[in-house]
């Protein structure tokens, strides 16, 4: 399913009043497409319309404040986390390529990172998600079922090897016991 189809589905859910489901889908899309700031803006709008102003600010933090409501929501969010760059970075979980972001977003991330470094001497690092590329190359994650079957087969082979060794030892002992 393409990004446009997923967004159409989300818009349909919003129209039906399924905002909680839509926010979940948007958060998942943000994780899959971290460089698409439009997704963050859409989620921020949804939170804003629902009255969750600090949550809207969290998703608008990388957006250049073009109107007063964005400024207010971002300020409210920053206040809710005690202006902690570290806390904001932990909650933001940006897994994208910073160089693909707008100049404002790059500058904001740099400010948050320097604040985090200054206050807690640590900058949270999040590795990029490349799940789609991994699957396209034919490399898939093993499922629990596959791992259990593999473990079971190995266990049976080890059991058979032990039984064979015990059988050979028993035969040898009985053969030498007859002499």
Q: DSSP string of 108-167?
A: HHHHHHHHHHHHHS-----PPP-HHHHHHTT--PPPHHHHHHHHHHHHHHHHHHHHHHHH
**Residue 62 DSSP label:** T
Number of structural domains (the chain) is 2
75 located within any domain: yes
Digits of tens for pLDDT over the chain (179 positions)? 888 899 999 999 999 999 999 999 999 999 888 888 899 999 999 999 999 999 999 999 999 989 999 999 999 999 999 999 889 988 888 888 888 888 998 899 889 989 888 888 878 777 665 555 444 444 455 688 888 999 999 999 999 999 999 999 999 888 887 76
pLDDT value at residue 138: 46
H or E segment to which residue 29 belongs: helix 19-32
45 located within any domain: yes
Q: How far apart are CA 146 and CA 141, in angstroms?
A: 10
The model scores a pTM over 0.75: no
> Which residues span the domain enclosing 30?
3-131
Are 125 and 157 within one domain? no
């Amino acid at each position: 399913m393409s990004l446009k189809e997923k967004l159409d589905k989300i818009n349909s859910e919003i129209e039906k009043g399924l905002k909680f489901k839509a926010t979940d889908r948007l958060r998942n899309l943000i994780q899959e497409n971290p460089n698409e700031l439009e997704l963050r803006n859409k989620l921020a709008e949804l939170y804003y319309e629902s009255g969750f102003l600090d949550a809207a600010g969290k998703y608008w933090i990388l957006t250049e404040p073009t109107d007063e409501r964005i400024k207010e929501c971002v300020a409210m969010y920053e206040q809710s986390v005690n202006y902690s760059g570290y806390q904001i970075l932990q909650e933001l979980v940006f897994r994208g390529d910073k160089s693909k972001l707008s100049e404002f977003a790059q500058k904001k991330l740099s400010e948050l990172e320097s604040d985090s470094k200054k206050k807690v001497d640590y900058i949270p690092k999040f590795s990029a998600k490349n799940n789609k590329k991994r699957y396209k190359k034919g490399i898939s994650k093993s499922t629990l079922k596959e791992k259990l079957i593999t473990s079971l087969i190995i266990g049976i082979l080890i059991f058979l090897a032990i039984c064979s060794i015990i059988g050979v030892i028993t035969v040898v002992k009985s053969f030498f016991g007859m002499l």
